[in-house]
Structure 1
Amino acid sequence: MFAAVMAATASASHAQAPSPAAAPKPAPIDRNGVLILVRSTLLALDQANKTGNYTVLRDIGAPGFQSNTAARLGEIFAKLRSDNLDLSGVAVIDPQLNLLPQIEANGLMRMAGFFPSAPTQVNFDLSFAPVNGQWRLFGISVGVGSSAPAAPEPSSSPIAQRPPPPNHAKQAASAKPAPAIRLTPPANKPTDNQQPK
């Protein structure tokens, strides 16, 4: 099950026009910044699903994302809400990234990955636009299961909703997933000469 929202690139004044020659480049963001953005976004979605009030999720977005009404966001995430998907586990579990934060040709920062168990695997693909020196939500795709959600694509309408692909389980089994990149720092293991502190 997937739900995706992407703000229209035409209405996002802070995103630049795509340039076919420009390749994505690593985003200037540290581990803590990534954790804050991913967790706060998914927890806002979780609270919106639990309360049926999508105003805060809408309001934390970039201007292009805010062109969506709270009611429209409720329609898009109705399936996740009706399935009582609990995303609260993302508050304590570290995500694993399949796509490290990168600046796309259109100026958006994009990252994708999953939470291995929250209580089921939660896949996400997020885009953020720079607004007044802060990264604000521009696009969100969330799903559960063993494969990452399809990335939302810009569209001419304020929202693009991507349904699950047909025969999803078969495609997920045959797809070769991208390697996951853990955000957790390596454990400090003492050497023979060092004493643990």
Structure 2
Amino acid sequence: MICATPLSETGPRALSRVLVLSLALIGAGAQAQEASTPVTEPDTVPLIEPSYATALIRDVLAAVNHGNCTGNYTVLRDHAAPDFALANDPTRLAGLFTTLRTERLDLLQAMVVDPVILQGDLSPSGQELRLTGYVPLQPRHVSFDLVFGQEGRRWLLLGISVGAFDPIEPPPAE
């Protein structure tokens, strides 16, 4: 499914004027199985370490950037989960990322600027991870919504949404 809709409100910030490019796998969540690891607190599920989440985000954005620069998205596809690769050949990915290439969005800056993670969700089974947020770059911020599936000890890309938006002014302090 391809979606080009702006992200709705996320926490206290509204990400307006977002150009979003989405790739989703049909039934990505249907594959997850319940883990038998007990949770120490009844209503909390441990999330991955923040620096590792940052590394995952940067890894995906680097692959998108390389694809944008070369027009070849083979590395992004081959670095993702097998179901993602089957659903998205390099030609399809190139077509879906046309807007980002046309805007000449430089994602290299995202390798040195810490992303702002607005939401990080780990599925109850611990097999899927969703990271949503943005990288505060100039002249435009880069939004991301990434879904990963755990395969062995690795997190592999299941779904991706990347876009750009003008920086949002913080609300005035009261």
Show CA shifts across 1:30-74 (max 9, x none). 122111100010011011011001000001111111111111111
Q: Max radius of gyration: which structure?
A: 1
Where does residue 141 of structure 2 map in the other structure? 121
CA gap 1:127/1:95 in 2 versus in 1, 3 angstroms: same
> Percent of counterpart pairs with the same letter?
35
Q: 2:117 aligns with which of 76, 92, 97?
A: 97
CA separation of 1:43 and 1:25: change in aligned 2, threshold 3 A: farther
Any idea what the Cα deviations from partners look like across 1:98-150, whole Å, max 9, x if unmatched?
10x22135742001011111541001011000112210011110111148xxx
Match of 1:144 among 153, 158, 164: 164
Q: Distance between the aligned counterparts of 1:123 and 1:25, measured in 2?
A: 26
Unaligned runs of 5+ in 2: 1-18, 35-42, 170-174
Cα distance in 2, alignment partners of residues 3 and 40 from structure 1: 18
Higher RCO (CA-CA < 8 Å; seq separation 6+): 1
TM-score, length of structure 2 as denominator length: 0.72
- Aligned partner of 2:79 in structure 1 is 60
RMSD: 2.7
Is 1:15 aligned with 2:29? no
Q: SS of 1:64's equivalent?
A: helix
Equivalent residue pairs, number:
142
Provide the rounded CA distance (Å) in 1 between the counterparts of 2:64 and 2:77. Answer: 10
- How high is the TM-score relative to the length of structure 1? 0.64
Q: Does 1:44 align with 2:45?
A: no
Aligned to 2:101, which of 68, 78, 81? Answer: 81
